[in-house]
Amino acid sequence: MTNQLAITAITSGAKRAPLVLRGDLVNAVKQAAEWGYDALEIHVIEAGDFPLQLMKDALARYGVRISAIVTGQIFTRRHRCITSPDPNNRAAAMAEVRDYIDIAAELGATDGIVIGWIKGDRPDSRQEEFDRLLADQLRVLGEYAATKGQRILVEVINRYETNLFTTAAELRAFLDKWDLPNCWIHMDTFHMNIDEADMAAAIRTAGSKMGYLHVADSNRLYPGAGHLNFAEVFAALKEIGYRNTISVECIPEPDSDTAGVQSMAFLSKALKGS
Ligand code: LER
Ligand code: MN
């Protein structure tokens, strides 16, 4: 397989958050290049503070691309959500995601913009209304992203973190029902190991709509540090003709260097054989 390999970066975050590179983003670009990664996935904290020109220069200097821009911090730090019952909150969330899409476009992100927790949870009491609102919001973002040559990558997350789209089948059915052509399925092996009955079957279900992949092992450490069957995952990716990025999103333990280097060693070997 010839997928681009990426690694996750953030300026600052919780110690056990599954983000490998921490601190200055220009250093993260340099480190990703030294470890042999093709690309960097960035959790932007605030669009207004993002060092766009510095990053463009660093990417050109080190020959690294941006795979995706992640929106999670809009939710975790500012509690904004694109389906909030408060119209001001959801308008602010949508405006921020548009700014993140602009950053992705400026940096020429290869895969798109990740939508995870910011999509919100589905309330038991008004499911139909919630689904319509979510579909409308995703359609607006998908259309805006398309004008910038970007895709919306909706992440399938495990049941302990969300009640919405915990399996590939659930998200695929939603995208098909609401006809959202520029919204794509973003899988994560850590979440799949919790909620999918069969990881290879889940990838086949995502099929032609599969837009992005996070990899971590069963314990959310670097691939190879747990008991996931990656051979089966990569065989299914090959079967569906998956050409997009494989991005390492794992807990940086015992330290970032080990996680970055071991992930690259494991993935390059496993992908060569698949
Ligand atoms: C984000 O990509 C993710 O997988 C969530 O579990 C938040 O960490
Ligand atoms: Mn993930």
Instruction: Please tell me the pTM assigned to this model.
Output: 0.97
- C-alpha 112/C-alpha 213 separation (Å) is 12
- Give the pLDDT confidence score for residue 197 in this predicted structure: 98
> Is the pLDDT at 150 greater than 80, yes or no?
yes
* Ion ligand 2 residues within 5 Å by Cβ: 188, 214, 249
Spatial contact of 62 and 46, defined as CB atoms under 8 Å apart: no
* Atom of ligand 1 minimally distant from the CA of 188: 4
- What mean pLDDT value characterizes the chain? 97
- Evaluate: CB of 161 within 6 angstroms of ligand 1: yes
- Give the pLDDT confidence score for residue 274 in this predicted structure: 72
- Evaluate: CB of 41 within 6 angstroms of ligand 1: no
Spatial contact of 211 and 202, defined as CB atoms under 8 Å apart: no
> Is the pLDDT at 272 greater than 90, yes or no?
no
- C-alpha 129/C-alpha 4 separation (Å) is 39
Q: How far is the CA of 81 from the centre of ligand 2 (A)?
A: 18
Cα atoms found within 13 Å of the Cα of residue 204, Cβ hemisphere only = 9
- Give the pLDDT confidence score for residue 1 in this predicted structure: 73
Mean pLDDT of 137-141: 98
> Is the pLDDT at 27 greater than 80, yes or no?
yes
Using DSSP's 3-state secondary structure scheme, residue 53 falls into: helix
- Give the pLDDT confidence score for residue 273 in this predicted structure: 72
* Atom of ligand 1 minimally distant from the CA of 17: 8
Total domain count, the chain: 1
Output phi, psi for 21, to 5 deg: -95, 130
pLDDT digits (tens, 9 = 90+) for 74-92: 999 999 999 999 999 999 9
Mean pLDDT of 176-194: 98
Specify the DSSP class assigned to residue 247.
E
CATH number of the domain enclosing 142:
3.20.20.150
% of the chain exceeding 90 in pLDDT: 98
| Structural domain for 114, as ranges | 5-272
% of the chain exceeding 70 in pLDDT: 100
CA 244 from chain center: how many Å? 12
- Evaluate: CB of 18 within 6 angstroms of ligand 1: yes
